[in-house]
């Protein structure tokens, strides 16, 4: 009965909607991300503005140019061009939509509208209205006009009659309700929101070709390159090859043989540089790195900036790899190299890094004045400084003092282990370390420590003890006049076992810290009311040991930007077995408050208990073995040897049985 056929959008009524929706789908998120990025970049630069000492490196203008180029994306780029084109396309579609009058749908039949009565009209009203209309529009009564032909007049009258009948006559009404038209079912149309020229005639091969190219080539290529790209770079953002190279060294060499130079060598051999600067060999890169450390110019300064600006990511990637080997020794060396690169200090002069990182200082001044660390610098008064450091003017001496004052040093004034909701440290529990930190200027070490207030365990703290880690202001960029980039200051926090010098926890990144203590004047800093104390908590993935006893650890706070800003603190974990009554009381309280969750919690602790046993067993094995001998490295070797030996012995015998 019904005859359906497809019709294309010949008058371009619908497809602009389709196009506009499609482009909107792309440009709306794109625009939001663009705006967001612009905002955060601006905010970052303002909030984290580093301290300006007034000192400028000789090639400062070039460095600034390079910095701004890396931070801001250029205005004329392919990205921006496509962005503009998409907006233009969207505009065109919108224009087409708004400028196209919708053609009246002839097939749409609304008896109320034709009769010109309200939808709420009663039958009586309809009848009277129809009568009026039929008198007015009856073909016998209406004369031909210029505007309307006889046929039109007649059809109008027929429409009015039909409308009237569809509202009053039962049979016709049924037709109307069922099919939407008093005459019964009408032709149905299935439109496709594509302009006709694309489908029929010359356009169709183009469409097919586009479709094939998109589905067959573009889509697989994009997905493939995304996939292989995600495989090429590790989670830490370094090239997989670079990670492999460093891993190989860590796996094959002895940790005490990995020197600062060795780290610089791996750095120079990174895959990143082979991609960015394909013309340069490994040795070229190394000499560029060394030239930077010695603050010497190279032939192509731009290459130097490219090389140096990449080092941070690479070294952070190495740090991540080292942490899996738990080697504290190598971690410190990597961070030494990081600091050396940020402050441009040769590896042979690291001992004087504290002073060399201050503007206007160099190795000759250090040697002649014999001032090589903050402690010595602190003891000089300003007049001595001027003569002792052979500074050109008094003005420079001021700058030196100011810059040194703005190097933040953290003192760990207190650190202890804590289990949320417990007074003591129980075995096999999840603990964390609470640190109280006092920031002071590197050349003002004698600030008093205010009385520490013991933190009350509120509900909020119990729920998320680590909220305080995120509360402080973001640390500013490092003061690094020779570094071609914005270097984010942070401290790496390590928890290290005292006995074997292996990393137990970390590195965690301390990126938020209140540095307001640095702004205090000398007089103010004597007053302990003004001194600000910050709290940082180190989460621990390992559970506390199974057996009661005293375990010793040390906390290391290592800066990634400044020499002499590191901090070390020894602390003990006093594991005490929990009195049994206590446990019951706790359990009861727990039962009362959340009885339903108890089962889940029970399961969780069971699960954890299994894990605990395993991990603590491992730990105790390690401990035992390292107690026996002090040569821990060889020791683990013997352990492994024994096991390997056994399996080796088994292998041939197995064979024999076969």
Partner 1 sequence: MAQSVSLYTPVIYIAVLLSVLVIFSTVYRKRKLRSLEGMKPWYPTHTSRDIYETLAEMAPKPPTKVLTSALLRRATEDIRRVVKIREAKGALATLHQKGSVSDDLWLRFTKSEKLMELELQDCANEANKIKEGFASTLFSSAQEIAQNDAIRQRLGNLDKIRDDFKKEMENANITASKK
How far apart are the C-alpha atoms of 263 and 314, rounded to whole Å? 11
Query: At closest approach, how far in Å is the CB of 431 from partner 1?
Result: 21
Query: At closest approach, how far in Å is the CB of 638 from partner 1?
Result: 6
Identify which of residues 161 and 373 has a Cβ nearer to partner 1 in the complex.
373
Q: Does 630 bind partner 1 (CB under 8 A)?
A: no
Chain positions 245 to 304 lying near partner 1, rule: CB under 8 A, are: 247, 250-252, 254, 256-257
The alpha-helical segments, DSSP class H, found in 48-149 are: 60-71, 78-99, 111-115, 123-137
Which residue of 366, 434, 480, 575 would you call a contact of partner 1, by CB under 8 A?
366
Residues in the chain: 658
Binding segment toward partner 1, per CB under 8 A, in 55-63, 148-156, 391-399, 630-638: 630-638
Q: Give the residue carrying structure tokens 């005459």.
A: 183
Which residue of 111, 317, 472, 485 would you call a contact of partner 1, by CB under 8 A?
317
Q: Does 329 bind partner 1 (CB under 8 A)?
A: no
One-letter-per-residue 3-state SS of 358-393: CCCCCHHHHHHHCCCCHHHHHHCCHHHHHHHCCCCC
Q: Does 644 bind partner 1 (CB under 8 A)?
A: yes
Size of the site for partner 1 (CB under 8 A): 49
Q: Does 641 bind partner 1 (CB under 8 A)?
A: yes
Q: Are 317 and 237 in contact (CB under 8 A)?
A: yes
Q: Does 332 bind partner 1 (CB under 8 A)?
A: no
Query: At closest approach, how far in Å is the CB of 326 from partner 1?
Result: 8
Query: At closest approach, how far in Å is the CB of 633 from partner 1?
Result: 8
Which residue of 267, 321, 334, 533 would you call a contact of partner 1, by CB under 8 A?
321
How far apart are the C-alpha atoms of 433 and 554, rounded to whole Å? 11
Binding segment toward partner 1, per CB under 8 A, in 230-238, 461-469, 476-484, 521-529: 230-238
Query: At closest approach, how far in Å is the CB of 331 from partner 1?
Result: 13
Which residue of 118, 207, 585, 631 would you call a contact of partner 1, by CB under 8 A?
631
Instruction: Considering only CA atoms, give the Rg of the chain.
Output: 39
Query: At closest approach, how far in Å is the CB of 489 from partner 1?
Result: 23
Q: What is the DSSP letter of 535?
A: E
Q: Does 231 bind partner 1 (CB under 8 A)?
A: yes
Q: Does 597 bind partner 1 (CB under 8 A)?
A: no
Query: At closest approach, how far in Å is the CB of 325 from partner 1?
Result: 5
Q: CA nearest 565: which of 333, 374, 324, 340?
A: 374
N-to-C CA span, the chain = 81
Identify which of residues 48 and 636 has a Cβ nearer to partner 1 in the complex.
636
Which residue of 37, 69, 367, 613 would you call a contact of partner 1, by CB under 8 A?
367
Q: Are 439 and 532 in contact (CB under 8 A)?
A: yes
Query: At closest approach, how far in Å is the CB of 45 from partner 1?
Result: 30
**Which residues are CB-contacts of 401 (< 8 A; sequence separation ≥ 6)?**
382, 385, 443
Identify which of residues 155 and 643 has a Cβ nearer to partner 1 in the complex.
643
Q: Does 223 bind partner 1 (CB under 8 A)?
A: no
How far apart are the C-alpha atoms of 534 and 397, rounded to whole Å? 31
Q: Are 506 and 495 in contact (CB under 8 A)?
A: yes
How far apart are the C-alpha atoms of 464 and 451, rounded to whole Å? 25
Q: Does 371 bind partner 1 (CB under 8 A)?
A: yes
Long-range contacts of the stretch 133-137 (C-beta < 8 A, 24+) = 133/160, 134/160, 134/161, 134/164
Distances (CA, A) of 413 to 259, 406, 451, 474, 524: 32, 20, 10, 21, 20
Q: Does 375 bind partner 1 (CB under 8 A)?
A: yes
Which residue of 31, 128, 188, 244 would you call a contact of partner 1, by CB under 8 A?
244
SS3 category, 509: strand
Identify which of residues 281 and 647 has a Cβ nearer to partner 1 in the complex.
647
Q: Which residues bind partner 1 (CB under 8 A)?
A: 231-232, 234-236, 240, 243-244, 247, 250-252, 254, 256-257, 317, 320-321, 324-326, 351-352, 366-367, 370-373, 375-376, 379, 631, 633-634, 636-638, 640-645, 648-649, 651-652, 655
């Amino acid at each position: 009965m019904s005859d359906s056929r497809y019709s294309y959008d010949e008058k371009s009524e619908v497809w602009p909607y389709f196009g506009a929706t499609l482009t909107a789908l792309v440009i709306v998120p794109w625009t939001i991300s663009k705006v967001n990025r612009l905002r955060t970049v601006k905010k970052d630069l303002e909030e984290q503005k580093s301290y300006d000492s007034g000192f400028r490196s000789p090639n400062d203008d070039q460095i600034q140019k390079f910095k701004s180029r890396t931070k801001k994306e250029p205005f004329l780029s392919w990205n921006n061009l496509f962005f503009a084109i998409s907006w233009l396309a969207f505009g065109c579609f919108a224009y087409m939509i708004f400028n196209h009058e919708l053609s009246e749908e002839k097939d749409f039949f609304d008896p109320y509208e034709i009769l010109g009565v309200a939808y709420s009209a009663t039958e009586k009203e309809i009848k009277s209205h129809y009568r009026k209309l039929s008198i007015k529009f009856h073909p016998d009564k209406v004369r031909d006009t210029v505007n309307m032909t006889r046929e039109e007049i007649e059809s109008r009258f027929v429409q009015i009659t039909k409308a009237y009948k569809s509202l009053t006559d039962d049979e016709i009404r049924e037709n109307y309700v069922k099919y939407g038209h008093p005459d019964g079912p009408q032709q149905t149309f299935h439109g496709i929101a594509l302009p006709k020229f694309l489908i029929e005639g010359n356009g169709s091969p183009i469409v097919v070709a586009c479709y094939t190219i998109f589905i067959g080539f573009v889509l697989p290529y994009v997905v493939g390159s995304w996939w292989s790209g995600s495989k090429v770079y590790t989670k830490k953002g370094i090239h997989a090859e670079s990670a492999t190279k460093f891993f190989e060294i860590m796996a094959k060499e002895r940790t005490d043989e990995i020197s600062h130079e060795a780290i610089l060598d791996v750095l120079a051999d990174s895959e990143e540089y082979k991609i960015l600067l394909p013309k340069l060999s490994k040795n070229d890169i190394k000499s560029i790195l060394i030239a930077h450390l010695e603050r010497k110019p190279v032939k192509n300064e731009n290459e130097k900036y490219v090389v140096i600006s990449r080092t941070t990511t690479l070294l952070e990637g190495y740090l991540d790899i080292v942490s899996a080997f738990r080697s504290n020794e190598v971690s410190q060396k990597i961070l030494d190299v990081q600091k050396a690169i940020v402050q441009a200090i040769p590896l042979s002069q690291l001992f004087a890094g504290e002073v060399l990182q201050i503007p206007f200082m160099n190795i000759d001044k250090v040697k002649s004045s014999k001032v090589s660390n903050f402690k010595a610098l602190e003891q000089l008064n300003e007049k001595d400084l001027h003569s002792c450091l052979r500074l050109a003017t008094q003005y420079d001496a001021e700058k030196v003092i100011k810059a040194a004052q703005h190097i933040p040093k953290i003192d760990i004034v207190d650190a202890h282990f804590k289990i949320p909701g417990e007074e003591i440290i129980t075995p096999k529990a999840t603990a964390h370390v609470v640190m109280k930190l006092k920031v002071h200027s590197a050349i003002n070490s004698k600030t008093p420590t205010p009385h520490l207030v013991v933190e009350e365990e509120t509900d909020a703290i119990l729920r998320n003890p680590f909220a305080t880690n995120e509360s402080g202001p973001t640390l500013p960029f490092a003061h690094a006049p020779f570094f071609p980039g914005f270097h984010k200051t942070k401290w790496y926090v390590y928890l290290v076992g005292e006995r074997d010098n292996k990393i137990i926890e970390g590195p965690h990144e301390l990126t938020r810290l209140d540095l307001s203590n640095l702004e205090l004047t000398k007089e103010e800093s004597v007053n302990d009311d003004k001194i600000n104390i910050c709290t940082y908590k180190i989460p621990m993935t390992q559970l506390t040991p199974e057996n009661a006893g005293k375990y010793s650890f040390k906390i290391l706070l290592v800066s990634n930007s400044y020499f002499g800003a590191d901090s070390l603190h020894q602390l003990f974990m006093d594991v005490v077995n929990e009195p049994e009554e206590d446990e019951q009381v706790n359990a009861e309280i727990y039962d009362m408050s959340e009885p339903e969750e108890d089962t889940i919690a029970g399961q969780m602790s069971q699960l954890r208990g299994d894990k605990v046993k395993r991990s603590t067993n491992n730990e105790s094995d390690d401990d035992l073995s390292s107690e026996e001998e002090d040569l821990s490295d060889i020791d683990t070797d013997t352990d492994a040897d024994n096991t390997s030996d056994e399996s080796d012995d088994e292998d041939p015998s197995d064979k024999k049985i076969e």
